[in-house]
Amino acid sequence: MVRILGPIVGLGFVGVLLWSLMWGAIAFVQEPPKATAEHEFHKHPEKVDFSFNGPLGKFDQAQLQRGLQVYKEVCSACHSLRLVSFRDLTALGYTDGQAKTLAAEWSTETPSINPETGEPATRKSIASDRIPSPFPNEVAARAANNGALPPDLSLITKARHDGSNYVHALLTGYSAQPAALLKHFPEAKTGEGLHYNPYFANLNLAMAPPLTAEGQVSYADGTKPTVDQMAKDVSAFLTWTAEPKLQNRHRTGLAVLIFLVIFTGLTWMAYQNVWRDKKH
């Protein structure tokens, strides 16, 4: 009985799927989906020639230090970096002493406990502390940003598709709304408190352009601080915060490939040796 009912039930499922597919196709032809502003004007980020691109890519420590400076002087006013501690910054070429100094200069309001009274207190940050958030909690963050919550940037390049290029494109992509958009999609006009950016999913975001002019940050190494350069530097830095072991992964992958090539060669030679006297 089961042998008879099994194929019948299977055919029933197939029939239902074919019926649904047919009616879906008919509905698509009769009432095609309407074009939207997001579909028509959303842009995908262009590729940036970062030093860490490719299987043999490496981080440029000078660029990472410049990116940290951009984050500190521009981005840290709104965005946290809660998964990165000050001592992690030694991977960027800083000494332990420099990391301690940077921690002490960064913030004097790290939450703590008074060891004598047990009351809440604040102190200067130390190297083992994580980079502090600019706001004490989510409510304060939203209140300071017209209801929008600035995302933590620790893993932002992993949380967004094509993250490094996306961050660079977003930072440099602010512009006026195209006339064609306003003509064909007047309902998509950028509202008060929002800013048009074709690289953002819905074209409008609450964050004002953070990088607005050349020279906004002064680089100690003499690099010209154009908007494009600052965007590249902070994108590289945020790529490092999201994947600090990227270079180790590249080295491991290369070693694995070399091993597989050698192993394949040895396997082929063993095969030839074992079967050389056998007739096929």
Would strands 204-205 and 120-123 be described as parallel, antiparallel, or unpaired? unpaired
State the fold for domain 37-84+130-249. Answer: Cytochrome Bc1 Complex; Chain D, domain 2 (1.10.760)
Output the pLDDT for position 18: 82
b/e 206-221 (16+ beta carbons within 10 angstroms → b): ebeebbeeeeebebee
What's the rounded Cα separation, in Å, for the pair 74 and 66? 12
Output the pLDDT for position 76: 95
Does position 121 have pLDDT exceeding 70, yes or no? no
Share of residues in the chain with pLDDT > 90 (%) = 62
Does position 279 have pLDDT exceeding 70, yes or no? no
More confident residue, 176 or 113: 176
Output the pLDDT for position 226: 97
269 is in an annotated binding site: no
78 is in an annotated binding site: yes
79 is in an annotated binding site: yes
Output the pLDDT for position 11: 78
Tell me the pLDDT band of 75, cut-offs 50, 70 and 90.
Answer: very high
What's the rounded Cα separation, in Å, for the pair 150 and 136? 13
More confident residue, 210 or 1: 210
Output the pLDDT for position 118: 66
User: Tokens 């002064």 correspond to what residue?
Assistant: 218
161 is in an annotated binding site: no
What's the rounded Cα separation, in Å, for the pair 179 and 32? 25
Tell me the pLDDT band of 116, cut-offs 50, 70 and 90.
Answer: low
Question: For residue 187, with 0-12 CB atoms within 10 Å meaning exposed, 13-18 middle and 19 or more buried, which class applies?
Answer: exposed
Per DSSP, what are the bridge partners of residue 195?
A: 205
Measured between alpha carbons, how far is residue 206 from residues 56, 72, 147, 184 in Å?
37, 20, 9, 23
Output the pLDDT for position 55: 86
Given a contact cutoff of 8 angstroms between Cβ atoms, the answer to whether 149 and 138 are in contact is yes
Output the pLDDT for position 215: 93
Output the pLDDT for position 115: 67
Does position 139 have pLDDT exceeding 80, yes or no? yes
Question: pLDDT tens for residues 24-64?
Answer: 777 666 666 677 888 888 999 999 999 999 988 999 999 99
Question: pLDDT tens for residues 217-273?
Answer: 999 999 999 999 999 999 999 999 999 999 999 899 989 999 999 999 999 999 888
Domain ranges for the chain: 37-84+130-249
